[in-house]
Amino acid sequence: MKRTLLTLLLCVVMGTAVTAQNEFSSSVVEVDWEAVEVVIPPSPFQYQILFIGGEDMVQTGTNEEVPAKQWHDFIGFTPLTDEDCVDDPNAIGWVSINHERIQADDKIGDGGGMTTFLMGRQPSDDLLYVIPQTLSDGREGDFFNVDFSNVGETGMNCGGINSIVDGRIWTAEEWFRSDNASIYVDGNGVRDTTAYTIKYTEFEMANFETIPKYQNFNWMVEIDPRESKAVRKQYNWGRQPFEGGTIAADNKTAYLGADATPGFFTKFVADVEGDFTSGTTYVYKHDAAGEPWVEIDNTDFEKMLNFKDEAVAAGATMYNRLEWVTINKNTGKVYMTETGRDNPWDRWADEAAEGAVYAPHHIQRAADQGASGPDDENYWDYYGRILEFDPATGEINIFVEAGPYFPTSPSVNDYPAKHLSNPDGLNMLYVNVAGEDRTYMLINEDLNGTSFGRTPIEYPDDRMCEMYLLDMEVTNPTVDDLIRLTQTPRGAEITGACATTDGKSVLVNSQHPDSSNPFPYNNSLTFAITGFDDSGAIDVLSAPDFTGVPDDTFMISPNPVERIVYFNKATDVALYDITGKRIAVYRDVKSIDIAGLAQGTYLLKTVDGETRKLLVK
């Protein structure tokens, strides 16, 4: 007996020693940074794939179809109007999708391109579907390639404009070109590089001008989503590395962003509502006397071709890569992403010397970093930001600074749990939930790199791009106010984010995903998340408020949980199943994603030994 006891005692002591050794024992999983498929938000949201690049066929002519181009970028939604004759009573509107490429294709056309389709919504379950159409040029089918042959082809279709007034669509030709070789790409890009003569446009200053082919790229191009045809290149808005833009409620003012260092902020004001072929073009200069806008003569085609030189000469304000531009139709304020570039350095020094001015926040940031100015080799802009332009005051201010940005290093416990790096796609979502109108900003990341905390260290080359929602009710928002909505497959850029006018769905593109994802996630694709109008749907996505909960307690919420359970502090935790078997260890986390766990009861144990029962529903 005695011996048995002694043995037991030894066992207990050894057990204690081992416990002291490693707080959690065996077999582990971690936060869902490594999803290989689109991370689908929890119910009541519904998820659907609508359009797969390289897989779905686009109609390029009568009885002629080829697989769609890849690299989906911008998405536009054009709501059905009373004047549209569409047989399907559940049709809601047309979707237009950019392909950000320069690629030769005999059928689709060389360069980039767009795809359009008509979409309907099932009344029974709100799910979306593609409606077959017959276009007036005889094409029949589900997906249609936008014909750009009438405007001299297109390329690198990145962002665009989706008018809040009537759903008109412009596509932005980004990736500024400076010679024909760069569009020809040894015959793999735009193969016809003969000089282009502009003809029969509304722009008298441009008609019968013959320009090198590459100069017919990098314009904003309006398209007709109903007929899947280009309408016109906007020769009066200047030739710029356009990324995005927006139309104000007056249906006269267009705001445009250019993706370059320096990138300029441009405005066009039409003479007549809805007619963007004549009006005045301006570039933003924050320190101009009076109105912060300087006119650039858009009746001079040379000036439109060399827009940047004109902007520099006008002393315009320089930004570090402006991407998408959107407008809050409730307030009229304009928002744009300044995605950043790690080390802008000498990229804008010459322009500064010639009179262009740095945006004040870059001067401030450089000073904070101990750099001599925005053109200092050591000045960095790893994370980018969202800017707000208020037409009432003419001021541009930082709306949300992306990060983990900190002027001084935080302690581990204060290290930000949310990161927003290199915001790119930007749009608004207006939704009526239980009779209440709510407005959200949709923010898409497109990481410029992985360094300095832009990705978790386990995945140094995997670019996880996330999409966030921001409630526009929040005053002085920070990264902590962002609600993580979804994440695209590994390696993909998340982009497009476009709400349907009814506010029920958001369409998203997963662009150029990593090779190693399973089909169809190895292709660029368009997917939809539906259910934003459901009561409480958006609330299930956001983190609970733990204000006032002391750090020496361990609180978890929600519980029961469906997807993400949040903690009141960052800690190491292990998750045990009902039998006491450890099934996961997470370190330094403020929340965990329990996707993939079976329903039931689990135990969460912190590194300090605090335990909480967790119900997974």
Partner 1 sequence: MKTDTFFFLGSFLLAGLLIIASKPPKKTRTYVDKAIGSINDKFHEDLSDCYNVALQFHEAARSFQEGKASENQLKEEYSQLRKSFKKIEFFIEYLDKEAFDKTMNGAPLPKLEKKVADLRVLQPKGMQVIDEIMASEFAVTDKQDLVSNAYRLESDLKKIKQFLGVRRLTDRQFFEASRQALVRLTTLGITGFDTPGTQVGIEDATVVLQTQQEYLRFYNKELKNVNAPKLLKDFIRVSNQGISQTQKGSFENFDRLTFIKTVVNPLYKGIKDIHLALDYETIEEVSRYPLAVNYKADHLFEKDFLNKFYYVSIANDTNFNKIASLGKLLFYDPVLSKNNSISCSSCHAPEKAFTDGLTTSNSNTGSPLKRNSMTLNYSVYASAYFHDLRTKRLEDQFEHVVTSKDEFDSSYPEIVQKLNTSPTYSEMFTKAFPAYDKPIKPNNIDYALAAYVMQFTAFDSPVDTYFQETSTSLSEEVKNGFNLFTGKANCATCHFLPTFSGLVPPLYKETEAEVLGVPESNSEPWILDDDLGRLGNGVTQEVADFYGNAFKTPTVRNIEKTGPYMHNGVYKTLEEVMEFYNLGGGAGLGLGIDHQTLAPDPLNLTDKEISDIIAFMESLNDTKEFSPPSDLPRDFSEKKLNERELIK
| 17: enclosing H helix or E strand | helix 2-21
Q: Are 101 and 156 in contact (CB under 8 A)?
A: yes
Q: Cβ 575 to partner 1, closest distance in Å?
A: 12
Site for partner 1 in 318-357 (CB under 8 A): 321, 341-342, 347
CA distances from 541 to 483, 505, 573 (A): 6, 15, 22
Distance CA 96, CA 423 (A): 22
Distance CA 333, CA 426 (A): 14
- Structure token digits, residue 612: 């909480």
Q: Cβ 515 to partner 1, closest distance in Å?
A: 4
Give the list of residues 6+ apart from residue 294 with CB closer than 8 angstroms, or none: 282, 283, 285, 288, 314, 315, 316
Count residues binding partner 1 (CB under 8 A). 79
Query: Tokens 């008018």, residue?
Result: 163
- Structure token digits, residue 601: 């009861």
Which of residues 86 and 570 has its CB atom nearest to partner 1 in the complex? 570
Q: Cβ 552 to partner 1, closest distance in Å?
A: 12
CA distances from 367 to 12, 364, 396, 407, 447 (A): 60, 5, 19, 11, 25
Interface with partner 1 (CB under 8 A), residue from 80, 254, 447, 594: 447
Piece in contact with partner 1 (CB under 8 A), picked from 73-81, 350-358, 457-465, 561-569: 457-465
Piece in contact with partner 1 (CB under 8 A), picked from 272-280, 425-433, 440-448, 548-556: 440-448
Give the list of residues 6+ apart from residue 395 with CB closer than 8 angstroms, or none: 286, 292, 389
Which of residues 270 and 584 has its CB atom nearest to partner 1 in the complex? 584
Site for partner 1 in 10-49 (CB under 8 A): 12-13, 15-18, 20-23, 25-30, 34, 36
Q: Cβ 425 to partner 1, closest distance in Å?
A: 14
- Structure token digits, residue 589: 């986390």
Interface with partner 1 (CB under 8 A), residue from 9, 195, 367, 578: 9
Q: Cβ 57 to partner 1, closest distance in Å?
A: 10
Interface with partner 1 (CB under 8 A), residue from 587, 589, 595, 603: 587
Q: Cβ 34 to partner 1, closest distance in Å?
A: 4
Work out the angle at residue 422's Cα, subtended by the Cα atoms of residues 454 and 178, and round it to the nearest 5 degrees. Answer: 125
Site for partner 1 in 369-428 (CB under 8 A): 377-378, 380, 409-412, 415
Which of residues 53 and 279 has its CB atom nearest to partner 1 in the complex? 53
Which of residues 443 and 465 has its CB atom nearest to partner 1 in the complex? 465
**Is residue 63 a contact point for partner 1 (CB under 8 A)?**
no
Nearest to 242 by CA among 227, 271, 222: 222
Give the list of residues 6+ apart from residue 82 with CB closer than 8 angstroms, or none: none
Q: Are 352 and 375 in contact (CB under 8 A)?
A: yes
Which of residues 205 and 589 has its CB atom nearest to partner 1 in the complex? 589
Which of residues 193 and 450 has its CB atom nearest to partner 1 in the complex? 450
Which of residues 172 and 206 has its CB atom nearest to partner 1 in the complex? 172
| 602: enclosing H helix or E strand | strand 600-606
Which of residues 43 and 516 has its CB atom nearest to partner 1 in the complex? 516
CA distances from 545 to 153, 184, 245, 480, 555 (A): 52, 55, 36, 11, 11
Q: Cβ 532 to partner 1, closest distance in Å?
A: 29
Rg of the chain on CA atoms, in Å: 26
Distance CA 111, CA 154 (A): 5
Which of residues 433 and 603 has its CB atom nearest to partner 1 in the complex? 603
Which of residues 23 and 388 has its CB atom nearest to partner 1 in the complex? 23
Which of residues 62 and 413 has its CB atom nearest to partner 1 in the complex? 413
Site for partner 1 in 169-228 (CB under 8 A): 174-176, 181-182, 185-189
Q: Cβ 100 to partner 1, closest distance in Å?
A: 10
Site for partner 1 in 471-530 (CB under 8 A): 490, 515-519, 522
Site for partner 1 in 260-319 (CB under 8 A): 260-261
Site for partner 1 in 228-247 (CB under 8 A): 241, 243
On the question of a cis peptide bond just before residue 44, with omega within 30 degrees of 0, the verdict is yes
Site for partner 1 in 97-116 (CB under 8 A): 102
Which of residues 8 and 615 has its CB atom nearest to partner 1 in the complex? 8
CA distances from 237 to 43, 44, 307, 397, 502 (A): 44, 43, 9, 24, 31
